[in-house]
Each structure stands twice: as structure tokens, then as C-alpha cells.
Amino acid sequence: MNRLQSLREAGVSIWLDTLSRELLDSGDFARLIADCAVTGATSNPTIFAKAITGSDRYDDQLRAAIAAGIRTPRDLFFELALEDVQRAADLLRPVYDDSDGRDGFVSFECTPDLADDGEATIDQALELWGRLARPNVMIKVPA
């Protein structure tokens, strides 16, 4: 048993503070769940900006989104990032189910430009929740 697994056995929830297509495609995210007792992951616009601009793994999906008529930077960002959040949530779903919903979450953040507009933040959070359509996703609200 490694140290992370020991912490997990002691009741500590281990969250990964990153998420990317590379982490998902390589199988590393699944291995971290299985071998290192990772029970959750956090993401935010900054994490995804680094992942998207630092990799060509998003290029095909980006081209397809543009061809489908998605044009605004925000909509393109959501098109790319939400797929990764859904994939991570699916990989963490057994953790969520086995813990009766105490663990196994992925977090995704509303865009910070809405932080001063409570109603718009709530609207975006509800839209994101609906689009992600996973019970083990948390929508973070910047403050």
C-alpha cells in the first residue's frame, strides 16, 4: 500500500488538481484512480487553457466544432472542456457509487467574468450542470 492509499484508508479524499485530454487519453487518469487512490479531480478555466493550448489533442474536435458553426471563444472552450469533464466523471463514477456519493467527483468552474453577476452565474451553473449530465460533477462558483 502506498502513502496515498494509506491516507485514503484513513478517510482522506485525494483529489487531483488538474485535468487534460492527455491525462485521459493516456490512461494515466484511470491509473491514478486505481493505483493511487485518487477520488476526485478539480478543473477550472486556467487548467483547461493550459491543456488546450499546450496540446494538439483538441485540434480535431476544435475544427469539428467550428465546422458545426460554434464560433465564440466561450462556446468553443465549453465544447472542448466539457467532454473532458464528462470523461473524468465517468471514470470516477465507480468511486462515487461505491462511496454512496461522498467521493468520486469532478469539479468544473463557472467562468470568472460572471463573478459579479449572481443571476448570470446561477444561469451558467445550471446550464453547465445540464450539459454535463453527470451526478458526480460539482459546479464551482468563483467568488
How distant is the alpha carbon of residue 57 from its chain centre? Answer: 16
CA 19, CA 69: separation in Å to the nearest integer? 26
CA distances to 42, 58, 84 from 65, rounded to whole Å, are 25, 11, 15
State the Cα–Cα distance between residues 19 and 2, nearest whole angstrom: 22
State yes or no: is 140 an active-site residue.
Answer: yes
Helix/strand/coil for 16: strand
Q: Is residue 54 within 8 Å of 80, Cβ to Cβ?
A: no
Cβ distance 88 to 94 under 8 Å? no
- From the list 57, 93, 131, 140, the catalytic residue is 140
For the annotated catalytic residues, the residue numbers are 140
